[in-house]
Amino acid sequence: MAMRALVFIVAALALGGCVQDMASGTLDPAGEAGWKQKDKDLMSNLPYNQAAVPEAYQRHIVEYHRKEAPGTILVDSDNKFLYYVLPGGKAIRYGIAVGEEAQAWSGLAKVGRMEEWPPWIPTPGEQARLGPLPAYVTGGPHNPMGARGMYLYSGNKDTLYRIHGTNQPEYIGSAVSSGCIRMTNEDAIDLYNHVKVGTPVVVLPPHGDGPFTPRIAGAAQSSAAY
């Protein structure tokens, strides 16, 4: 496992380039384009308080100067951003919440499975750290997996890491999760509508390890909430 992680990191570093946050537009974070009727019904009666996501972590179209091909997801855990690469040197940038220091993961993967309003099955590690937790939580706005789940696989094996929605939007921009990549439910639906099974995912190593640190001028930083 350690050797595989090392290979992932080396491969990620070899892709090179840089990311800049020259935003050309903020996209409506509450837009319902692409929502299904179930999304509208569940999002109209939330069991949690909506949070005002800081402008820096709302969806933007930004300039993108790394070498990943259009259709790739790149996660910059240090700066709490996820990029969906577009043609023409652009990307959609989303604000995210990421794993705490000890739970962080980096490497190369692909979207191996996708699910709308997925159930949550806590892993043994989550049970040990956070338990006792229920063995199974049905999908819905009460569920920490939120509106969409994109499951990260490597070599056809589930890494147990996911990109998913959240019922705690107030933590966007923080490092609080068990290693998964959280988005607001609105952003998770938006990203889900762009990707497909097989979409490549690059998760940059933490703390700018290696020569190809993404340079994001003035990016907001946030520490773990607890």
Q: Catalytic site residues?
A: 164, 180
The CA distances from residue 190 to 20, 99, 150, in Å, are: 22, 22, 12
Nearest to 17 by CA among 225, 176, 210, 220: 210
Q: Using alpha carbons only, what angle is made at residue 175 by residues 124 and 145, rounded to the nearest 5 degrees?
A: 50
Nearest to 151 by CA among 138, 136, 161: 161
Question: SS3 of 162, please?
Answer: strand
Query: Which of the 8 DSSP states describes residue 204?
Result: P
**What is the Cα–Cα distance from 185 to 166, expressed in whole angstroms?**
6
The CA distances from residue 85 to 2, 165, 169, in Å, are: 29, 20, 24
